[in-house]
Amino acid sequence: MVLKKEKGSAERILVDERLQHIAFIMDGNGRWAQKRGMPRKYGHSVGAQTFRRIAGYCREIGIHYMTVYAFSTENWKRPPEEVRAIMGILEDYIQKFSEMTEKESIHIRFIGNLSVFSKDLQEKMENLDRETASNPFHLNIAINYGGREEIVHACKALICEGKTDIGEADIAAHLYTAGCPDPDLVVRTGGDTRTSNFLLWQSAYAEYHFTSVLWPDLSESDVDAAVAAFYSRHRRFGGV
């Protein structure tokens, strides 16, 4: 990590090649809204704005890959109104992204079991991924995503290909994140200290950072704190 002083502005953090991929478990939207006497869905819509702001900031500080947990395979158990609200935000985002300026620099990829979504939405997600593929900042949005489901999906794909001798690289190549480096840092907001079925395979050697800040409140300086915590750790990857 380096601290960079830019003309007329305060010193700020820039990451180096040790921190290429940051992942976020965006927790706390519901509580954030309820604290304000608002319906939980309001927290998700403010959370979506936070997502755009934080993605922009991560790009600015030199991160190349960012993954967010937007909707898990377990989130369907929520009240139908809340599920509809989150899906509405995602669809809106997919629709609007083509017109956004970020389109020039962000590669959007949706990870998860997308087969449950309408053909039309699947097509839009695929198009967005394809049209933005050459952009330098890679943003993975996990929807209908579960880490266990992803591993089962990879194994089934290998069986279908007739593979009998399976190694780690084969599994990694069939995950939804294939081609993307593993996360170096996973940040969970909202105060809980669980992985909640997020990037189970990919996070084998990730550093975790937990903060009680609720996702809609996450600020650029909270990201700096997570980055600083990452650089304070000694990553041994199983060595000494």
44 vs 174 by CB, closer to ligand FPP = 44
Distances (CA, A) of 46 to 25, 40, 204: 15, 10, 31
Report how far residue 75's alpha carbon sits from residue 142's, in angstroms, rounded to the nearest whole number: 12
Active site residues: 27, 75
102 vs 224 by CB, closer to ligand FPP = 102
32 vs 230 by CB, closer to ligand FPP = 32
Residue of 15, 20, 22, 51 that binds ligand FPP (CB under 6 A):
51
**Rg over CA atoms, the chain:** 18
93 vs 231 by CB, closer to ligand FPP = 93
**Residue 146 is a binding residue for ligand FPP (CB under 6 A):** no
**Residue 190 is a binding residue for ligand FPP (CB under 6 A):** yes
Contact 188, 210 (CB under 8 A): yes
Give the nearest distance from C-beta 153 to ligand FPP in angstroms: 21
CA 31, distance to chain mean position in Å, is 20
**Residue 89 is a binding residue for ligand FPP (CB under 6 A):** yes
What is the full DSSP assignment across 152-218? HHHHHHHHHTT--S--HHHHHHTSTTTTSPPPSEEEE-SS----TTSSTTTTTT-EEEE--S-GGG-
Residue of 1, 12, 39, 75 that binds ligand FPP (CB under 6 A):
75
Report how far residue 144's alpha carbon sits from residue 70's, in angstroms, rounded to the nearest whole number: 8
Give the nearest distance from C-beta 75 to ligand FPP in angstroms: 5
**Residue 15 is a binding residue for ligand FPP (CB under 6 A):** no
Residues 23-42 that bind ligand FPP (CB under 6 A): 26-31, 40
Distances (CA, A) of 78 to 50, 91, 99, 147: 22, 18, 31, 19
Give the nearest distance from C-beta 89 to ligand FPP in angstroms: 5
Tell me the two tokens of residue 103: 């389109």
Which stretch in 46-54, 109-117, 168-176, 227-235 sits in contact with ligand FPP by CB under 6 A?
46-54
Q: How many residues bind ligand FPP (CB under 6 A)?
A: 20
Contact 65, 180 (CB under 8 A): yes
Cβ neighbors of 87 (< 8 A, separation 6 or more) are 71
Helix (H, G, I), strand (E, B) or coil at 98: coil
Residues 91-130 that bind ligand FPP (CB under 6 A): 93
Give the nearest distance from C-beta 52 to ligand FPP in angstroms: 8
Give the nearest distance from C-beta 4 to ligand FPP in angstroms: 28
Q: Which residues in this chain contact ligand FPP in the complex, by CB under 6 A?
A: 26-31, 40, 44, 47-48, 51, 68, 70, 75, 86, 89-90, 93, 141, 190
